Amino acid sequence: MTAVMKPGLMDDLRVYGAADVAKCFNCGTCSAVCVHSEAPYVFPRKPIHYLQLGLESKLEGSLEPWLCYACGECSEQCPKKAEPGETMMSLRRWLTSRYDFTGLSRLFYRSWRAEVAAIVLVALVTAAGFLAVGFSAGDIRHYDGPHAFLPAGGWTGGVHLFDWGMAGVLLVLLLTNAARMWWFTLGRDRDRRAPLSSYLAALYLLPLHFFTQRNYAQCERKRPWVTHLVLMLSYVTMLVLIMFFLRDMASGPRVDWRVHVPGLVAATGLLAAVIINLRGRLRRSWPQHAHSHESDWIFLILLLYVTFTGVLQFLLHRAGLDLAANVTYVAHLAGVVPMLVLEVPFGKWSHLAYRPLALYFARVRRHAAAAATSAVEEARAA
């Protein structure tokens, strides 16, 4: 099928961070260098070329950008300083905005002011809401953790209900976007349709890649993978603690070692990873930190803020400073909510879904292709 060129696409991707892609003269060094590039998923040269030519539909259908871990090895070797690694990063941002049907992602990536404004707005609404609902009946000088937001007793924290509600909304948004991703990369193109058996056979890859980022470990430098793994596992630990053990977490002021020790370990992991990444971006010490998009800073600062306020309210509570602990807690929630409702479905964080999905889809495609070939061979043999 003839692909229609849209010559301005390269310029459009500039705001997503693709600054040097025009310099690429298609030598293919980058594809030879990348450890993840393997037929039929050869990159970064091919997606870069699609981008130069403005082959939008081919790009939308590409899984390759998600198979890249931004190690920057290719950028170091590129003879034209065309920053192929950075182009892959910007393609992920662009794809995120394509998968997202609401248009918010596109807005945020193209304007950091809009993203900051949205975060501030959600933060203010959250804070105001909690203050209005939570402390209209209760006493702000008395720390009651999530219970403080309960208008009148009851076993489930209001926050807890809110948590689950939010998780539901998040899931719906993410799933819709994931479905769009599936449509672009597997569904739309008749040649790429795969049988159910292929989907089932590769299913195990989803949790595997989600929890281990196994492929990231294949990159030449191991520290970025370790840092990323620590960040991700700490985050998941924290999520589990908050979703399932919120009551125990908020108990006190006595320390409940069953939840507080893992909580503190996770918080330390989060803080350390965030600080390493921030430092790296400031100093540009790793190749993948050489270029930072506004969305990277927003993401890291927000995460730092949330972790810091979380730890602080915990400490204040242990110290018996209830009023301060309550105020900090509200401030904490004012960060958590925008992080979850804006960053996860529309921002950088969405890659937690897209990357494992891409690895999964890639295998599905390969599986389906292999099945088709062997069917042909069998038919030929018969």
Partner 1 sequence: MSAAPRKIGVYVCQCGGNISDYVDVNAVVAAVEHEPGVTVAKTAMFTCSDATQQEIVQDARELGLDGLVVASCSPKLHTYTFRDVARRAGMNPFQYTQVNIREQCSWTHTDDHAGATAKAVRLVRAGINRTRLTEPLEPIVVETTPKSLVVGGGIAGLRAALGLAEVGLAVFLVEKEARLGGWVAGFGDMFPHGRSGAELIAALEAKVRAHPAITVFTNAELTAKSGSFGNYRVTVAVRGERSETIQLVVGSIVVATGFDTYQPAEGEFGYGLDGVVTLPEFKRLLDGTTGPLQYHGRPVETVAYIYCVGSRQSEDAGTGHTYCSRYCCTAAVHAAVKAAVIPAKPHQVHFYRDMRTYGKYELLYAEALATGSVFVKYPDEEPPAVSRDDATGRLTVTARDRLCGGDEVALQADLVVLVTGMVPRANDDLTKALKLPVGTSGFYNEIHPKLRPVETVVDGAYICGACQGPRTSAESVASSLAAVTQSAAVLKRGTAALDPLVAAVDPAACAWCGACETTCPYDAISRVAADGKEIATIARTACKGCGGCVPVCPSGAIDLQGYRDVQVRAMIDGMLEAVTP
Q: Which residues bind ligand SF4 (CB under 6 A)?
A: 24-30, 33-34, 36, 43-45, 48, 68-74, 78-80, 82, 84-85, 88
SS3 assignment, position 310: helix
Residue 192 to residues 58, 133, 361, 368: CA-CA distances in angstroms? 13, 51, 10, 8
Torsion of CA 152, 156, 161, 167, to 10 degrees: 160
The binder of 30, among ligand SF4, partner 1, none, by C-beta within 5 to 8 A per type, is: ligand SF4
Residue from 26, 29, 176, 212 in contact with partner 1 (CB under 8 A): 26
Query: What are the structure tokens assigned to 372, written together?
Result: 């088709």
Residue from 44, 54, 335, 338 in contact with partner 1 (CB under 8 A): 54
Q: How far is the CB of 375 from ligand SF4 (least distance, A)?
A: 33
Amino acid identity, residue 46? Answer: K
Identity of the residue, 47 or 335, whose beta carbon is nearer to ligand SF4 in the bound complex = 47
SS3 assignment, position 138: coil
Q: Tell whether residue 53 is a contact of partner 1 (CB under 8 A).
A: yes
| Interatomic CA distance for residues 145 and 320, integer angstroms | 13
| Interatomic CA distance for residues 259 and 250, integer angstroms | 10
Q: How far is CA 211 from the centre of its chain?
A: 13
| Contact region with partner 1 (CB under 8 A), list: 21-29, 165-173, 204-212, 280-288 | 21-29
Q: How far is the CB of 28 from partner 1 (least distance, A)?
A: 9
Q: Tell whether residue 55 is a contact of partner 1 (CB under 8 A).
A: yes
Q: Tell whether residue 11 is a contact of partner 1 (CB under 8 A).
A: yes
Identity of the residue, 36 or 147, whose beta carbon is nearer to ligand SF4 in the bound complex = 36
Identity of the residue, 219 or 259, whose beta carbon is nearer to ligand SF4 in the bound complex = 219
Q: How far is the CB of 97 from partner 1 (least distance, A)?
A: 22
Phi, psi angle pair for 38, to nearest 5°:
-155, 135
Q: How far is the CB of 84 from ligand SF4 (least distance, A)?
A: 4
H or E stretch including 378?
helix 351-381
Q: How far is the CB of 211 from partner 1 (least distance, A)?
A: 35
Q: Where are the alpha helices (DSSP H) in 68-111?
A: 73-77, 84-99, 104-110
The binder of 10, among ligand SF4, partner 1, none, by C-beta within 5 to 8 A per type, is: partner 1
Q: Which of 175, 159, 90 is nearest to 348 (CA)?
A: 90
Identity of the residue, 32 or 175, whose beta carbon is nearer to partner 1 in the bound complex = 32
Is there a contact between 308 and 334 (Cβ–Cβ < 8 Å)? no
Is there a contact between 286 and 72 (Cβ–Cβ < 8 Å)? yes
Identity of the residue, 17 or 347, whose beta carbon is nearer to partner 1 in the bound complex = 17
The binder of 11, among ligand SF4, partner 1, none, by C-beta within 5 to 8 A per type, is: partner 1
H or E stretch including 52?
helix 45-53
Identity of the residue, 224 or 335, whose beta carbon is nearer to ligand SF4 in the bound complex = 224
Q: How far is the CB of 20 from partner 1 (least distance, A)?
A: 9
Identity of the residue, 24 or 122, whose beta carbon is nearer to partner 1 in the bound complex = 24
Is there a contact between 312 and 321 (Cβ–Cβ < 8 Å)? no
Identity of the residue, 46 or 110, whose beta carbon is nearer to ligand SF4 in the bound complex = 46
Identity of the residue, 22 or 178, whose beta carbon is nearer to partner 1 in the bound complex = 22
Find where tokens 């920053």 sit: 83
Q: How far is the CB of 226 from ligand SF4 (least distance, A)?
A: 16
Is there a contact between 323 and 141 (Cβ–Cβ < 8 Å)? yes
> Site mask, partner 1, residues 69-98, x = CB under 8 A?
-----------x------------------
Amino acid identity, residue 74? Answer: C
Is there a contact between 24 and 80 (Cβ–Cβ < 8 Å)? yes
Contact footprint for partner 1 (CB under 8 A): 1-5, 7-8, 10-11, 22-26, 46, 49-50, 52-55, 58, 80
